[in-house]
């Protein structure tokens, strides 16, 4: 088999270079700042998920209540009034912390 130009070029490009990259005992080690960034991102994702869950749960409860009582699901004042009269209005604050 005679190597064609394509296979020869592929072979040359695929060869590992010897000492062109950074080497040494500290190469490839992560800093503690990276860990803090990852933990911060994880906390942010968990808080967003928790906030979405609370908002979605409230929306579902209000939609079901409106459907059972024949109220327009988009009429917030009527739903709030009817839920307050029924004693099921969620009066907790809507903030995250």
Tell me, yes or no, whether 52 lies in a domain: yes
- Total domains in the chain come to 1
Q: Which residues contact 65 (CB under 8 A, 6 or more apart)?
A: 71, 79, 82, 83, 86, 88
Q: What is the pLDDT of residues 66-87, one digit of tens each?
A: 999 999 989 989 999 999 999 8
Tell me, yes or no, whether 35 lies in a domain: no
**Total-model pTM:** 0.58
Tell me, yes or no, whether 53 lies in a domain: yes
Q: What is the pLDDT of residues 13-70, one digit of tens each?
A: 566 565 666 777 777 777 889 899 999 999 999 999 999 999 899 999 999 999 999 9
Domain that holds residue 54: 48-97
Tell me, yes or no, whether 70 lies in a domain: yes
How far is 60 from 16, CA to CA, in rounded Å? Answer: 58
Tell me, yes or no, whether 88 lies in a domain: yes
Tell me, yes or no, whether 11 lies in a domain: no
């Amino acid at each position: 088999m005679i190597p064609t130009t394509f296979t020869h070029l592929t072979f040359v490009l695929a060869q590992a270079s010897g000492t062109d990259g950074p080497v040494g005992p500290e190469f490839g080690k992560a800093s503690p700042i990276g860990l803090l960034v990852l933990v911060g991102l994880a906390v942010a994702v968990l808080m967003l998920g928790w906030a979405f869950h609370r908002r979605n749960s409230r929306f579902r409860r209000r939609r079901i209540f409106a459907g059972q009582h024949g109220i327009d699901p988009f009429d917030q004042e009527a739903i709030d009034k009817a839920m307050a009269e029924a004693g099921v209005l969620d009066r907790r604050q809507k903030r995250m912390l």
